[in-house]
């Protein structure tokens, strides 16, 4: 009954990470402990996001709830949960959050060797209309034992040990790579466990979907405009691509990962570096795409080769199916030749 094995072989994310850890006998299990704390944060946020609508219904929203406490905005609440979970793991030393202007340096007694960059609730402007949102994170190793400095976190994305996201949508899905492929886990609320449902995710080599905010078309540069034009009016007689754009990066990237295609947030005249943040949006999603056999390109270089100078730096990003990204790379290369 091998086919049914997965039904009874409950591969939870914790067991998966422990299996990974067993491949590194020298490991002290720090990464496993760190990841378990990130997973705990995601379970909390999933529960809070699912209740958010109800909170509005039963009047818990707005300024105060029935206990008279200040009702926090979900993204602020999520950020506090992740900061507390990561500090209490005792395995982190620097934390960079989309919600905090400054990096958090963990006090020496609780310090570990990992740096976590994260967006606790990306796309949170979509909460009130029920659109999927998510937590995005990346993990770097910092030199152990030396006094952590901000420069330690300004590393290229290719140095990340792991990256992932948790999408709070019709189901709660945790997608993770620790550098040897991509795996997807679905939260079983009755168990409170993430179960392996999408083992070894590979993105299709070429897709039929492009994903971009067409409302910015008037500000695009030549190569992006040419590429989108080709998606809509193919010159080789192939069928036009479909446009799918949710406006929540985790939802758009998750669909791209599973169905194939390309997600674009280009630079434009208004935002010369695009809108998405390098450390906790561009790098984690680019890491996952490459691990799944896709590509991620900034318009100038491989996204993971970028070396950020500031923790909230932005970059244009084109990511998804290998062949689709290859096409836009060729258009930017041709522009360079002019
Ligand atoms: P626009 C959400 O605000 C976000 O940061 C990403 O999740 C999403 O991909 C992007 O911005 C959407 O931006 O300009 O298309 O609304």
How many Cβ atoms sit within 10 Å of the Cβ of residue 183? 22
In the reported structure, the alpha carbon of residue 212 is separated from the centroid of ligand 1 by a whole-number distance in angstroms of: 10
pLDDT at 5 > cutoff 60:
no
Question: Which tens digits make up the pLDDT trace of 27-77?
Answer: 788 999 999 999 999 999 999 888 876 665 444 445 454 445 555 688 889
The helix/strand/coil state of 180 is: coil
In the reported structure, the alpha carbon of residue 139 is separated from the centroid of ligand 1 by a whole-number distance in angstroms of: 22
CA–CA gap between residue 115 and residue 111 (Å, rounded): 10
Q: Which residues of 224-260 are buried (b: 16+ CB within 10 A; e: fewer)?
A: bbbbbebbeeeeeeeeebeebbbebbbbbbbbbbbbb
The helix/strand/coil state of 95 is: strand
List the residue whose alpha carbon is closest to atom 4 of ligand 1. Answer: 123
Q: What angle do CA 42, 45, 47 make, to 5 degrees?
A: 110
157 lines ligand 1 (CB under 6 A): no
Query: Higher model confidence: residue 52 or residue 194?
Result: 194
In the reported structure, the alpha carbon of residue 247 is separated from the centroid of ligand 1 by a whole-number distance in angstroms of: 5
Are 319 and 296 spatial neighbours (Cβ–Cβ below 8 Å)? Answer: yes
Are 173 and 167 spatial neighbours (Cβ–Cβ below 8 Å)? Answer: yes
For ligand 1, what atom is nearest to the CA of residue 215?
15
Mutate which of 98, 123, 252 for ligand 1 pocket (most atoms within 8 A of beta carbon): 123
ipTM exceeding 0.85, yes/no: yes
Query: Mean pLDDT, to the nearest integer, of 161-182?
Result: 96
Query: Mean pLDDT, to the nearest integer, of 245-268?
Result: 97
Question: Which tens digits make up the pLDDT trace of 78-100?
Answer: 999 999 999 999 999 999 999 99
Greatest distance between any 2 Cα atoms in the chain = 65
Say what the pTM is.
Answer: 0.93
214 lines ligand 1 (CB under 6 A): no
Which range is most confident: 7-16, 211-220, 268-277? 211-220
CA–CA gap between residue 196 and residue 178 (Å, rounded): 15
pLDDT at 4 > cutoff 70:
no
φ, ψ dihedrals at 83, nearest 5°: -60, -50
Length of the chain: 338
Question: Which tens digits make up the pLDDT trace of 200-233?
Answer: 999 999 999 999 999 999 999 999 999 999 999 9
The helix/strand/coil state of 39 is: helix
Query: Nearest 10 degrees: CA dihedral of 76, 80, 81, 83?
Result: 130
pLDDT for 58:
45
């Amino acid at each position: 009954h091998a086919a049914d094995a997965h039904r009874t072989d409950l591969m939870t994310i914790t067991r998966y990470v422990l299996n990974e850890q067993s491949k590194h006998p020298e490991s002290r299990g720090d990464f496993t402990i760190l990841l378990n704390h990130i997973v705990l944060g995601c379970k909390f946020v999933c529960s809070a996001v699912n209740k958010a609508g109800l909170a509005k219904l039963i009047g818990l929203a707005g300024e105060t709830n029935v206990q008279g406490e200040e009702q926090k905005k979900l993204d602020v609440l999520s950020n506090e949960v992740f900061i507390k979970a990561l500090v209490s793991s005792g395995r982190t030393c620097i934390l960079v959050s989309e919600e905090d202007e400054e990096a958090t340096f963990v006090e020496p007694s609780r310090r570990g060797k990992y740096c976590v960059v994260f967006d606790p609730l990306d796309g949170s402007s979509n909460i009130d209309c029920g659109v999927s949102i998510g937590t995005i994170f990346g993990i770097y190793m910092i030199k152990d034992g030396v006094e952590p400095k901000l420069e330690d976190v300004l590393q290229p994305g290719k140095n990340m040990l792991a990256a992932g996201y948790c999408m709070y949508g019709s189901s709660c899905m945790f997608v993770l790579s620790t550098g040897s492929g991509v795996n997807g886990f679905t939260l079983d609320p009755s168990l409170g466990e993430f179960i392996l449902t999408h083992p070894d995710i590979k993105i299709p080599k070429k897709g039929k979907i492009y994903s971009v905010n067409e409302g910015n078309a008037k500000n695009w540069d030549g190569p992006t405009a040419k590429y989108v034009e080709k998606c809509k009016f193919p010159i080789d007689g192939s069928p036009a691509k479909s446009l799918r754009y949710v406006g929540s990066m985790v939802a758009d990237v998750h669909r791209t990962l599973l169905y194939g295609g390309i997600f674009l947030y280009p630079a434009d005249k208004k935002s010369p570096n695009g809108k998405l943040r390098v450390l906790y949006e561009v790098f984690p999603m680019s890491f996952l795409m490459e691990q799944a056999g896709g590509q991620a390109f900034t318009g100038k270089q491989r996204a993971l080769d970028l070396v950020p100078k500031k923790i909230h730096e932005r970059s244009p990003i084109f990511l998804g199916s290998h062949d689709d990204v290859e096409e836009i790379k060729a258009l930017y290369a041709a522009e360079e030749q002019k």
